[in-house]
């Protein structure tokens, strides 16, 4: 178990994010995060800041380990979304950042 900070994204409220301390568990290359339903209800993705990871839909336990420069781009995208960036544009730009990680 790793105690770390994670950045939570709530896509019911685009552009919002919360940085909080949590427990991050590595299980054979898959990642889970511990927390109450209250903390994580409606949260579709979180970033493990310390380990440069984005975990998409924690219930499905999918993990993409981003390089720091790409993680910074995703964080900026989320901030832009909060400033009015269109959601379709957001997903298109996110796909461009994430595409190399699917090879």
- pLDDT tens digits along 49-86: 444 445 544 444 344 556 768 777 877 877 777 777 77
Does this model's pTM top 0.75? My answer is: no
What pLDDT, on a 0 to 100 scale, did the predictor assign at position 10? 46
- CA atoms within a 13 Å half-sphere pointing along the CA-CB vector of 101: 16
- CA atoms within a 13 Å half-sphere pointing along the CA-CB vector of 86: 3
If one counts the domains in the chain, the total is 1
Q: Could you tell me which residue, 97 or 40, shows the higher pLDDT?
A: 97
- Residue 12 above 70 pLDDT? no
Query: 46 lies in which domain range?
Result: 2-102
Quick check: 46 and 35 in contact, CB under 8 A?
no
Q: Which residue has the tokens 């927390």?
A: 35
- Residue 94 above 70 pLDDT? yes
What pLDDT, on a 0 to 100 scale, did the predictor assign at position 102? 60
Query: Residue 64 is inside which H or E element, if any?
Result: strand 62-65
Chain mean pLDDT for the chain: 56
Q: Could you tell me which residue, 75 or 28, shows the higher pLDDT?
A: 75
């Amino acid at each position: 178990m790793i105690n770390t900070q994670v950045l939570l994204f709530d896509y019911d409220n685009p552009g919002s994010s919360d940085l909080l301390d949590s427990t991050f568990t590595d299980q054979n290359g898959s990642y889970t995060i511990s927390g109450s339903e209250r903390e994580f209800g409606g949260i579709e993705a979180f970033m493990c800041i310390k380990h440069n990871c984005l975990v998409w839909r924690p219930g499905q336990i999918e993990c993409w380990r981003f390089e720091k420069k790409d993680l910074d781009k995703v964080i900026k995208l989320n901030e832009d979304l909060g400033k009015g960036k269109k959601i379709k544009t957001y997903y298109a730009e996110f796909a461009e950042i994430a595409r190399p990680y699917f090879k």
